[in-house]
C-alpha cells in the first residue's frame, strides 16, 4: 500500500533551487556575492559551542534588535527560518480548506507550494507587462479570499509597484483579508520609486510586511526571516512557527548583521550599479529587459529560455530559467557579470 497523498499537491512543481557548480558563476539564486558580513563571521566563530542547547524559542534578542532597527514595539515582529517559513506561518494563521490565496503570476515560486500545503486554493493573476496587475488582483478577491501576496519588487521579474497604486489597492481590499507585502529585495529598491510598506501601512491590522536576511544581509544559508504587523496578528503567527526553527547561530548572526547597516548599504549600492550596467548592456544587445528594482535581471525570452540557460551553463554561468517564460540572472561580482554579458552577446 502507498500512503494517500493530497491531490492538490500532486500536480504542483517542486521548488527548483539554483545549482551549485564549483568554478561556475552562481547567478541563479539571488544571493549576495560578497560573502559574510565581517561582524557576522566574527560572531559565528564564537557561537558554535552553544549548539548542544536548544535555541531561544522566542528569538528574544533578535526580535528586540529588529524592533530597535525598525523603531516599532517587539510585539509587532515574528521571526521564522527564512521568510519562506514566515510565508507558511501567515498562511497557516489565516487559511482553511478551500480558502483562496491570491498572488501575481509569475511570482515567488514558494507561494503556490505553501498555499497547497496550507490547504488553500491558489488564485494566480497574470502579470501585465511583467508587473503585478493590482487591479486584476483586486478583481480576483471573493468572499473566500483570506490572503493576498504582493511581492514588491516582484521575483523573478524585478519590477515594482509604486506607493499610490499600492495604497489604493490596500484601501480597496476588504479589512478581513490579510495583505502580505513581501519585501525580500527592499535594500536594492529605489526608495523614490518603491514604497516601504512598513512606513505606508504600519498601523493597518490587515497588512503584514515580510523581510529576510537571505539577500542583502548575505545570510541565505542560515535561514532567518521575519514579518512586521499588528500585535493581534503577530501573536497568532508566532504560534504557527515550527518550535525552535531558528538556530542559535542564525539568531546570533542576524543580530550581528543588523549592526552592519553601513556595509549592507554599501554592498547594495554596488549591486544596484552592476544591475544597471547589466541592464544597459543587455538592452544595447537588443534584449528586452524590464527595469529591475532587485538584485537580478529578467530576460523574457519565452520559448528560448531553457536553451539560453543551457548555453549559459555550458559557458560556466548558472542562471535560473523558467521554461517558456524567461531567465532570471542574479547580479554577481563584476567579473561574473562580465562572463554572463559575454555569453549574452554570443547568444544574441
Ligand atoms: C528570496 C525570497 C524570499 C526569502 O526567502 P528566505 O526564506 O528568507 O531565504 C522571500 N520572498 C521572495 C519573493 C524571495 O525572492
For 33-59, the pLDDT digits (tens) are 999 999 999 899 888 888 899 999 999
Q: CB of 299 within 8 A of CB of 329?
A: yes
CATH number for the segment(s) 38-258? 3.40.640.10
Q: Return the CATH architecture of domain 18-36+261-347.
A: Alpha-Beta Complex (3.90)
Residue 297: pLDDT band (50, 70, 90) is very high
Give the C-alpha separation, 44 to 289, whole Å. Answer: 39
- Taking the centre of ligand 1 as the mean of its atom positions, its distance from the CA of residue 108, in whole angstroms, is 8
Averaged pLDDT score across all residues of the chain: 96
Bridge partners, 320 (sequence order): 328
Residue length of the chain: 348
- For residue 305 and ligand 1, the question of a CB distance below 6 A is answered with no
Q: Do 18-36+261-347 and 38-258 have matching folds?
A: no
Give the C-alpha separation, 253 to 224, whole Å. Answer: 9
Measured over the CA atoms of residue 103, residue 106, residue 107 and residue 111, the dihedral's sign is positive
C-alpha cell of 24? 561556475
What stretches of 112-174 adopt beta strand conformation (E)?
A: 121-126, 145-151
Range 88-92 average pLDDT:
98
Question: pLDDT (tens digit, 9 = 90+) per residue, 239-282?
Answer: 999 999 999 999 999 999 999 999 999 999 999 999 999 999 99
Pocket perturbation via mutation, ligand 1, pick of 91, 225, 294, 322 by most ligand atoms within 8 A of CB: 225
Number of the ligand 1 atom closest to the C-alpha atom of 86: 7
pLDDT of residue 6: 87
Task: Spell 222-233 as b/e; 16+ CB within 10 A means b.
Answer: bbbbbbbbbeeb
Nearest CA to ligand 1 atom 4: 83
Going by C-beta distance under 8 Å and a sequence separation of 6 or more, which residues neighbour residue 137? 102, 103, 104, 125, 148, 150, 169
Number of the ligand 1 atom closest to the C-alpha atom of 108: 13
Residue 102 three-state SS: strand
- Taking the centre of ligand 1 as the mean of its atom positions, its distance from the CA of residue 87, in whole angstroms, is 9
Pocket perturbation via mutation, ligand 1, pick of 110, 158, 253 by most ligand atoms within 8 A of CB: 110
Strands 225-228 and 207-212: antiparallel
Q: Kindly tell me if the per-residue pLDDT of 15 is higher than 90.
A: no
- Taking the centre of ligand 1 as the mean of its atom positions, its distance from the CA of residue 16, in whole angstroms, is 13
pLDDT of residue 50: 84
Q: CB of 39 within 8 A of CB of 32?
A: no
- For residue 220 and ligand 1, the question of a CB distance below 6 A is answered with yes
Residue 87: count of CB within 10 angstroms of its CB:
25
Q: Kindly tell me if the per-residue pLDDT of 8 is higher than 90.
A: no
Pocket perturbation via mutation, ligand 1, pick of 87, 212, 257 by most ligand atoms within 8 A of CB: 212
Q: Kindly tell me if the per-residue pLDDT of 140 is higher than 90.
A: yes
Q: Kindly tell me if the per-residue pLDDT of 7 is higher than 90.
A: no
C-alpha cell of 332? 554577481
Question: What share of the chain in percent tops pLDDT 90?
Answer: 90
Nearest CA to ligand 1 atom 11: 184
- For residue 219 and ligand 1, the question of a CB distance below 6 A is answered with no
Q: Kindly tell me if the per-residue pLDDT of 1 is higher than 80.
A: no
> What ranges do the domains of the chain cover?
18-36+261-347, 38-258
Q: CB of 337 within 8 A of CB of 302?
A: no
- Taking the centre of ligand 1 as the mean of its atom positions, its distance from the CA of residue 3, in whole angstroms, is 31
Closest CA to 217 of 257, 157, 160, 176: 257
Number of the ligand 1 atom closest to the C-alpha atom of 151: 13
- For residue 82 and ligand 1, the question of a CB distance below 6 A is answered with yes
Number of the ligand 1 atom closest to the C-alpha atom of 81: 7
Number of the ligand 1 atom closest to the C-alpha atom of 225: 8
- Please give the model's pTM, rounded to 2 decimal places: 0.96
Pocket perturbation via mutation, ligand 1, pick of 62, 78, 84 by most ligand atoms within 8 A of CB: 84
Per DSSP, helices labelled H in 173-230 are: 197-201
Nearest CA to ligand 1 atom 14: 184
Amino acid at each position: 500500500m502507498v500512503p494517500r497523498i493530497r491531490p492538490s499537491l500532486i500536480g504542483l512543481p517542486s521548488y527548483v533551487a539554483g545549482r551549485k557548480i564549483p568554478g561556475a558563476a552562481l547567478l541563479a539564486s539571488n544571493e549576495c556575492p560578497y560573502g559574510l558580513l565581517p561582524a557576522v563571521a566574527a560572531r559565528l566563530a564564537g557561537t558554535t559551542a552553544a549548539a548542544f542547547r536548544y535555541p531561544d524559542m522566542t528569538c528574544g534578542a533578535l526580535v528586540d534588535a529588529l524592533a530597535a532597527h525598525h523603531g516599532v514595539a517587539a510585539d509587532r515582529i515574528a521571526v521564522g527560518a527564512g521568510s519562506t517559513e514566515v510565508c507558511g506561518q501567515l498562511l497557516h494563521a489565516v487559511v482553511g480548506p478551500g480558502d483562496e490565496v491570491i498572488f501575481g503570476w509569475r511570482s515567488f515560486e514558494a507561494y503556490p507550494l505553501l498555499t497547497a500545503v496550507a490547504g488553500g486554493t491558489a488564485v494566480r493573476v497574470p502579470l501585465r507587462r511583467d508587473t503585478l496587475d493590482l487591479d486584476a488582483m483586486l478583481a480576483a478577491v471573493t468572499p473566500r479570499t483570506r490572503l493576498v501576496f504582493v511581492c514588491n519588487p516582484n521575483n523573478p521579474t524585478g519590477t515594482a509597484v509604486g506607493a499610490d497604486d499600492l495604497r489604493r489597492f490596500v484601501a480597496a481590499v476588504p479589512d478581513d483579508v490579510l495583505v502580505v507585502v513581501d519585501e525580500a529585495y527592499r535594500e536594492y529598491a529605489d526608495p523614490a520609486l518603491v514604497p516601504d510598506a512598513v512606513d505606508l501601512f504600519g498601523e493597518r491590522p490587515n497588512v503584514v510586511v515580510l523581510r529576510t536576511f537571505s539577500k542583502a544581509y548575505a545570510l541565505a544559508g542560515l535561514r532567518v526571516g521575519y514579518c512586521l504587523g499588528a500585535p493581534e496578528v503577530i501573536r497568532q503567527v508566532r504560534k504557527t512557527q515550527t518550535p525552535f526553527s531558528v538556530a542559535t547561530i542564525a539568531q546570533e548572526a542576524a543580530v550581528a548583521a543588523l549592526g552592519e547597516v553601513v556595509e549592507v548599504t554599501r554592498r547594495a549600492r554596488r549591486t544596484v550599479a552592476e544591475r544597471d550596467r547589466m541592464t544597459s548592456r543587455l538592452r544595447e544587445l537588443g534584449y528586452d529587459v524590464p527595469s529591475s528594482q532587485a538584485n537580478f535581471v529578467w530576460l523574457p525570452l519565452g520559448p528560448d529560455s531553457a536553451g539560453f540557460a543551457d548555453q549559459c551553463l555550458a559557458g560556466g554561468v548558472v542562471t535560473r530559467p523558467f521554461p517558456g517564460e524567461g531567465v532570471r540572472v542574479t547580479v554577481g561580482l563584476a567579473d561574473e557579470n562580465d562572463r554572463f554579458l559575454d555569453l549574452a552577446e554570443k547568444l544574441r
